[in-house]
């Protein structure tokens, strides 16, 4: 990838004059859009922009960093990539060099995104890095609902984005709800509402995690609800308590399974694995 940190201090006067000072501060001082892996800092966070529907903050399996996703569809796209063993990094809300995008817009005769005359820094929803047979590959993913692709202005901005990544030698794709597997969607809907259902301190969450894990390991062939119901009885808790805990911790990536092929209703203990970050007690936890 040819892009480097040079655009963090845009030198052409045209760009410097058009970019809002607050945006320059975000690029330069807050190191937005910089770093890799656990140390990447997204250019936009859930607090920065209005979003369609719900926004999500969650720890990633790939790098154990809290990621910022601006819609349910971004969450679905992120989870699909985050579950792939070949993925080594995911950077969300990745900024595009405004010098390049302004130049492309002029060349194509397309109006560059701006707000009240102030040039806006364009972003790509997901920049995904893969290790494919020892080769490092990157793919840029724009996440859009299918109905948005009927809007002419949206198409223009997507063309700017596509041309930018073409210049970087990186494949660019559009991801819509039609690319989301049915089982995956149902599993996400089962887990996502429980991300903030509890706000556990360090000792609480590790006690719950280890209790559930021990029961899973001791009842390998049993279905998940049976195992968790037995744990409720063992701990003298109201029936369904540990199922709620499991959904909360699984939403926090403490427990994982093949979400594209196994629906949550058919899960057995043997289908579930524990996160290596949680096992090492090194997990990032999203507080409510």
pLDDT band of 33, cuts 50, 70, 90: confident
Give kind and range of the element (H or E) at residue 228: helix 224-235
Among residues 151, 179, 207, which one ends one of the domains?
Answer: 179
The string of pLDDT tens digits covering residues 241-254 is 999 999 999 999 99
CA nearest neighbour of 165 among 193, 138, 136, 198: 138
Cβ within 8 Å of residue 24, ≥6 positions away: 10, 16
Q: Are residues 99 and 213 in the same domain?
A: no
Instruction: Quote the pLDDT of residue 227.
Output: 98
Whichever domain contains 268, its CATH number is 1.10.10.10
Number of H helices, E strands in the chain: 10, 10
The set of residues, in sequence order, having a beta carbon less than 8 Å from that of 163 and lying 6+ positions away, is: 104, 108
Question: Other C-beta atoms within 10 Å of 71: how many?
Answer: 18
* 192, 164: one domain: no
pLDDT in the model for residue 19: 55
Q: Which of 179, 211, 231 is the C-terminal boundary of a domain?
A: 179
- Provide the domain count of the chain: 2
* Interval 182-235: pLDDT, tens: 898 889 889 988 988 999 999 999 999 999 999 999 999 999 999 999 999 999
pTM (2 d.p.):
0.78
Whether 287 maps to a domain, the answer reads no
Q: Same domain for 172 and 189?
A: no
Verify that 149 and 63 share a domain, yes or no. yes
In this predicted structure, the answer to whether residue 61 has a pLDDT above a threshold of 80 is yes
Q: Which residue has the tokens 């993925």?
A: 87
191 and 50 housed in the same domain: no
Asked if pLDDT for residue 10 goes beyond 70, the answer is: no
**CA 102 vs CA 17, 18, 119, 164, 213: distances in Å:** 13, 11, 9, 10, 53
- Residue 167, judged by CB atoms within 10 A of its CB (0-12, 13-18, 19+), counts as middle
Same domain, 215 and 160: no
CATH of residue 132's domain is 3.40.1350.10
Average pLDDT score, the chain:
88
Q: What pLDDT, in 10s, does the model give residues 23-32? A: 666 666 778 8
The first and second tokens of residue 34, run together, are 């910089």
Task: Say whether both 142 and 119 belong to one domain.
Answer: yes
Q: What local confidence, expressed as pLDDT, does residue 17 receive?
A: 47
Q: Could you list the residue range(s) of the whole structural domain that residue 173 is in?
A: 5-179
SS3 140: strand
């Amino acid at each position: 990838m040819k892009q480097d940190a040079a655009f963090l201090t845009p030198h052409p006067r045209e760009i410097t004059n058009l970019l809002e000072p607050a945006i320059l501060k975000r690029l330069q001082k807050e190191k937005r859009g910089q770093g890799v892996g656990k140390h990447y800092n997204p250019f936009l966070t859930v607090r920065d922009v209005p979003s369609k529907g719900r926004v999500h903050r969650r720890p990633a399996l790939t790098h154990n960093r809290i990621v910022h996703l601006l819609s349910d569809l971004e969450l679905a796209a992120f989870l699909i990539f985050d579950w792939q063993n070949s993925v080594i990094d995911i950077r969300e809300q990745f900024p595009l060099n405004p010098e390049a995008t302004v130049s492309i817009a002029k060349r194509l005769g397309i109006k560059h995104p701006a707000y009240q005359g102030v040039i806006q820094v364009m972003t790509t929803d997901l920049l995904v890095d893969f290790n494919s047979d020892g080769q490092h590959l990157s793919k840029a993913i724009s996440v859009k609902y299918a109905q948005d692709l009927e809007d002419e202005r949206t198409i223009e901005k997507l063309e700017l984005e596509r041309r930018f990544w073409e210049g970087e030698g990186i494949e660019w794709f559009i991801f819509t709800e039609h690319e989301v597997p049915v089982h995956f969607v149902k599993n996400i809907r089962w887990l996502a509402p429980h991300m903030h259902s509890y706000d556990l301190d360090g000792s609480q969450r590790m006690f719950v995690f280890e209790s559930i894990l021990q029961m899973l390991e001791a009842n390998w062939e049993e279905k998940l609800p049976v195992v968790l119901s037995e744990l409720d009885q063992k701990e003298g808790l109201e029936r369904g308590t540990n199922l709620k805990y499991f959904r909360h911790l699984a939403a926090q990536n403490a427990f994982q399974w093949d979400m594209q092929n196994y629906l949550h209703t058919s899960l057995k203990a043997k289908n579930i694995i524990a996160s290596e970050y949680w096992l090492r007690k090194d997990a990032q936890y999203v507080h409510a």
